[in-house]
Each structure stands twice: as structure tokens, then as C-alpha cells.
Amino acid sequence: MTKKDTEILAVPDQAGIRLKMTRTARLVVKSKNIRPPVSFLQIMELAQQVILQGNYDRQFLEFAMVLCGNETWRQVVASTPYNRRLLLLPQCLKDEKNCQAAIDQLGLICAGCQSCSIDEILVQAESLGYNTLVAEGTTVAMQLVQEGSVDAIIGVTCMSVLRKSFPTVYQAAVPVIGIPLLFEGCANTDVDRHWIMREINQYEPSQEYPPLSLSVIRNEVRSWFNDHTLNTIFSGNGSQTNRMAISIMLHGGGRMRPILTIIAYKAYEPDPSEKLAENLAVIVECFHKASLIHDDIEDQDDYRYERETLHLTHGMASAINTGDYLIGKGYQLLSGLAMSTESLQQCFRLISEGHVALSIGQGDDILSSSHNEIPKTETLLQTYRLKTGSAIKVALLLGAVAGGAPAEEIAILEHFSDEMGIAYQIRDDIHEFREERDDRKFSDYPVMLSLLVEKVDQDTKRQFVSFISNNQWLDVHSLLENAQIPDAADKLLQTHVANAYRLLDQLNNFRMRLSLYSLMGKIF
């Protein structure tokens, strides 16, 4: 390890200095009125202010960054119930000579021999209701967050691991308090036990700050899509069309749109109704599944979710009719929601406007494909905004309106939906291009083709058109690679993802902002 690395990762030896720097970081962060998640650059700027304000040694800059990161998350972690937190300790705290613990696939199982500080810390944390884990790295901890087992982490580890884990924690918007070991090492390390005890005991209930667990909402939403619930909501009229519609609703997909709806509803509604939430989720899925039935017909696709499509199993006419039935059922269910007349009117307007926008976007896409046209990138992105952005917009805004979101928040969510929809489609195009499949089609990644046509000269363009006409996929692939189109597509994706994040930063509702940050991190 070089002298520079040692200085970067230094932790003050004296507890008094550590505590004083913590207090300075708290004052600096509080003065800026900053809401997490906070970027690496912002954390660096805050830490530099801490060093200057307290006249601390510059070697503690990265330690100050850890402290500033902690302070941005403090209110969120403090408002998270103990039983929804994870305490993560490193195995290197154990006494190598006297430790009697066993090791399994998750980590160390403390034997309570009291030869090190692990037992004392675990006993205190578990008495409060914490989930605890003694393991190296953050992989298992992040999995527990993604599974919905915990909502916040208090993690004890070395400075180097804290530094490496920052991008993952930031992108996933995981509320975390990091406590660095007093020195780097892989065995017989030490930690400020008083600091740990202060952190694990802090609890300040708040309605504003507890994060919404995406995993818990996802599991809740998925639990609603079963035979009993759907037959009850659909009134179980026994018709063949009703049965086909329920079958379509039961199968396939990640339920992203109803999940978005329930996130927004619960973020803005202080006392959410389980029944209303359930109906909102089903309504959104009705419209989504109807659009998929019609989309499969228009694109002549034979499979959806690894099953034969409805028009293939029951014929074109029945498929069209089932899609229409689901649209009608969605509006019928919407009309019966226990909401104010004004809110219902707003919901009908946003869903109908979304339906119109999606149809316009789909129509542009169909006409372009039927004439073998490769649209300009700007035109294609507008189609993506209409098709996918509108669907996301309907899902988010339906929940936000039902939850009583203010007009300025709804306006921000509208623009966010456009950017997320465009980014989502670009991401799918990139994945389709890079996936090795025997049945791939040029139409699977239109953004790549649009970017190529705009970039290359006329001779290359004619060559490109010839390759497409003759279905010479490998030659088209070479053209795209040589013109660095995949890199251009990645850059375009990052532009729209960044636009989406900038819009999220404008939201005043902390739970909505944090939930969408987390969702974006998982998708992109």
C-alpha cells in the first residue's frame, strides 16, 4: 500500500476527533438541506467543507465523506423500525486465536465466547429486534434489501469496502450508515464500539422518512393477481371472454405498472386503503394487458412470456375482443372507486389521454414498419415517449392522484415518465442488439438503426439497406460496431436516465423520490 492510499483511507485514532468530525459533518449537511441519495461529487464537496470548517487534517477527507454520507441518510435510518434494519459486521473483528464461531454460506455464526466485541454488539442489536449478519462485503446485505427483508443498513467495514460499495448503494438508494474500522486489515481489526452502540440505538419515528420497500410492494401486488381475487373483482360472470381475460391477467410480467401505481399511492396517501390499492393495481394491469394483446396482433408475435399468444390459441377475433373487454373492465372498475368526484374525473382524463397517446405512438410505429422506414432518432424517441412513457405516466399518476398528490408533484412525475419511458425503450433495444438469439429481427433494436442512418455516409447507407433487405444480420452488426453505434446508444441512454434523475430531485415527497431512485437503480 502506498503512502497516498494510507492517507486516503485514514481514520482518526482518537475517539474525540471522530466524534467532533461527526458533529461538524452533521452541521454542514443540515445547513445545505440535502436529501439523499447524494452523488459522489456532492459528498466530496461536503467533506471538503467539513475539513475546512473544522480545520481537520486533509488525510481524513475520505473519512469525512463517510460521515457526510451518514448524515444525509440519518433521518431515514433513524425513522426505520429496528426490525426493518440490518446490522452488518465484518468477520475480521473476531479474535483469530480464540474464536469458537462456525462459518456457513452466509457468514459467521457467533458462539458467544466473548473473545471479541462481536458478541456484545450482536446481543445489543438483536435485543432491539435487528436483523444481524457477520460477513465480508456487501453482496448479501444488498440481496436482503432487494428481497424486502430489511429497509436500512448499519454497516461496519473497512474504509476500502465503504469506498467500493458507494456506487452500488447510491444507485440502489439504500439508506445506510457506514462505520469504518479503525484500521485496514483482514484479521483482528478493531472498531469504535461506542459509535456502533450510538447508531444502533437511535430511533426517531417519522411519517415522512421511512422508505417504501419496493420488494414488499412488489410481493403485495403480485399476491393480488390470483384466481379468487380476480374472479371477485371481475364479478365472475362465467363468460368465455371473462375467463380468457382473467387468464391473461394471471400470467406473465413483472407487474411493473401496478407496482408504480401502488408506490405513488402509498407515498402520497398517509392512510392508504388496502382495498383501493388492490383495485388500482388491477385497473392498471387491465389496460396494460389489453395493450399487449393488441400489440401482439399488430406485431404478429406468436409468443408472450414463453406462452402462445391469445390470437394464436383462440383466434384473431377473440383476441381483439378480449383486449377490448379488458379496456372496458378497467374503466368500469375505475368508475366504482371510493374517491372524490374531482379525483375520479382526473383519473378518467389521464387514463383516456394515455390511451390516445399510446395509440398514436403505436400507429406511428406500425406505419413506419409497414413502409420499411427507418425514422430519425428524434422521431423514434417521440414514439417511445408516446408508447412507453404514456403507460408509465398512467401508472404513476393514477396512484399519485388517488393519494392526493399536489399538482406540482404530478407535473414533475409526468415529465419523469416521459424520460423513463424513453430510457426504458433504449435499454431494451440495446439488450436486444447484444443478445444472441436465432430469431432476432432488425425491428428489435430500431434505435440502433436510426443512429446508424444518421451517422454514416450515403454509400454506407445504401450498403446498410441492402444488408437489411437480404437479412444479412452479421453484416449489419459489423456496420453498427464499426460506426460505434452501441457506444452512441449507451450515451443516449445515459442522457435520458440522467434527465429522469434530475426530475426526481425536484420532488418534494421524500418517499416518492427515494422509491423511484431505487426503482431506477434496479432497472438501469
* Tens digits of residue pLDDT in 430-445: 998 888 766 667 778 8
What values do phi and psi take at 103, rounded to 5?
-120, 125
CA neighbor of 12 nearest in space, from 75, 70, 71, 54: 54
Cα separation, 112 vs 110, in Å, equals 6
Please indicate whether residue 524 or residue 288 has the higher confidence score (pLDDT). 288
Please indicate whether residue 462 or residue 378 has the higher confidence score (pLDDT). 378
**C-alpha cell, 388:** 412507453
Residue 461's pLDDT band, with cuts at 50, 70 and 90, is: confident
> 267: left (phi > 0), else alpha (psi -120 to 50), else beta?
alpha
Give the start-to-end residue ranges of the domains of the chain: 3-201, 212-338, 340-524
Residue 474's pLDDT band, with cuts at 50, 70 and 90, is: confident
Q: What is the pLDDT of residue 445?
A: 86
* Tens digits of residue pLDDT in 306-349: 788 888 888 899 999 999 999 999 999 999 998 999 999 999 99
Q: What are the CA-CA distances from residue 312 to residues 189, 248, 303, 309, 325 (Å)?
A: 64, 13, 9, 5, 18
Mapped onto helix, strand or coil, the DSSP state of residue 132 is strand
Percentage of residues of the chain with pLDDT beyond 70? 92
Max CA separation in the chain (angstroms): 77
Q: What is the pLDDT of residue 253?
A: 81
- DSSP state at residue 387: I
Q: What is the pLDDT of residue 274?
A: 93
Q: What is the mean pLDDT of the chain?
A: 88
Contact 208, 268 (CB under 8 A): no
* Residue 111 scores a pLDDT above 60: no
The third-level CATH classification (topology) of the domain covering 340-524 is: Farnesyl Diphosphate Synthase (1.10.600)
Mapped onto helix, strand or coil, the DSSP state of residue 133 is strand
pTM: 0.85
Q: Which segment of 95-109, 131-145, 151-165, 398-412 scores lowest on mean pLDDT? A: 95-109
Contact 156, 191 (CB under 8 A): yes
Q: What are the CA-CA distances from residue 131 to residues 59, 87, 88 (Å)?
A: 34, 6, 9
CATH number of 212-338: 1.10.600.10
